[in-house]
Structure 1
Amino acid sequence: MTKRDRDRDEEEPRRRSDDQAEEGEEGRSRSTQRAKWIRSVDEHEDRPGQTLATRNHDVICRWAEARGANPATVSSTEHEGRAGVLRFDFPGFGGENLEEIEWEEWFKPFDERRLVFLYQEHKANGDTSTFFRLDNPNREDA
């Protein structure tokens, strides 16, 4: 084993454990584990079509607002006085089953469930993307 191989082997587990400690990688889907983590509104994709992940409220708000989307929940999914299934209401995309809520109401269950916001800034062709998914560590297929 060369010195370079040893250095890489020593560095890789440290980097992985730092990510796990900071982002709670354990129990996350493979998509979330492979995504580029975004920790502030100043960080962005490296290339169009890249999957990004964050728990940062400001990043999520800016992404949604840039697409004209409002925080929402699916009607009749409330649980113990909190929003149930979290979604965004995008203009012109139906949303008849959606009930718009305040950001504070949206982030309360997001944080309690320790969800991760998976998203794209742009599609692979460079167009603005509205792709997002909420990754739940308690999901059976995670």
Structure 2
Amino acid sequence: MPGEEPAESERTTDHDEIRDWVEERDGRPARVEGTDDDGDGLLRVDFGDGDDDLEPVSWDEFFEAFEENDLAMVSQDETTEGEGSRFSKLASRGEGNEGE
């Protein structure tokens, strides 16, 4: 809506912060099956929303691929309405990291 402030997002590469944020929202580390020739798959956070293409991975596997692909996590703690948010995305550390 006009005049509304967008919800703020945070960007981090800190493994503990990422794990805490995900687990506070009942999420788990995962990857998308069949999205990579070497079997690694694209990393995702699984919140149990019924996406059958997600395969659970350990935190160690998740963060190994996270570092190999030079990723950062962009997340939002609250919506503009003040509700808890599960918005997150994994992005290249080179994408829009002004102020980092």
TM-score by length of 2: 0.80
**1:111: how far off?**
0.5
- Aligned residues: CA RMSD: 2.0
**1:116: how far off?**
1.0
**1:72: how far off?**
0.3
- CA distance in 2: counterparts of 1:105 and 1:130, whole angstroms: 22
Corresponding residue number in structure 2 for 1:61: 19
* Structure 1 stretches of at least 4 aligned residues deviating more than 2 Å after TM superposition: 77-81
- CA distance in 2: counterparts of 1:137 and 1:72, whole angstroms: 20
**1:84: how far off?**
1.8
Corresponding residue number in structure 2 for 1:38: none
1:35-46, aligned counterparts within 5 Å? none
Work out the percentage of aligned pairs sharing the same amino acid. Answer: 36
Corresponding residue number in structure 1 for 2:56: 100
**Which segments of 5 or more consecutive residues in structure 2 lack a partner in the other structure?**
1-5, 96-100
Identify which of 46, 50, 73 aligns with 1:89. Answer: 46
Higher strand proportion (structure 1 or 2): 2
- CA distance in 1: counterparts of 2:46 and 2:78, whole angstroms: 19
Corresponding residue number in structure 1 for 2:76: 120
Whether 1:111 and 2:36 are equivalent positions in the alignment is no
**1:76: how far off?**
1.4
SS in 1 for 2:82: coil
Q: Give the count of matched residue pairs.
A: 90
**1:138: how far off?**
7.2
Q: Which has the higher contact order (CA 8 A, sep 6+)?
A: 2
**Which segments of 5 or more consecutive residues in structure 1 lack a partner in the other structure?**
1-47
Task: Give the counterpart letter for 2:62 in structure 1.
Answer: W
Corresponding residue number in structure 2 for 1:70: 28
**1:77: how far off?**
2.4
Corresponding residue number in structure 2 for 1:134: 90
- CA distance in 2: counterparts of 1:84 and 1:56, whole angstroms: 21
- Structure 1 pair 66/137, CA: closer, same or farther in 2 (3 Å)? closer
**1:88: how far off?**
1.1
SS in 2 for 1:129: coil
- Report which of the two structures shows the higher radius of gyration computed on alpha carbons: 1
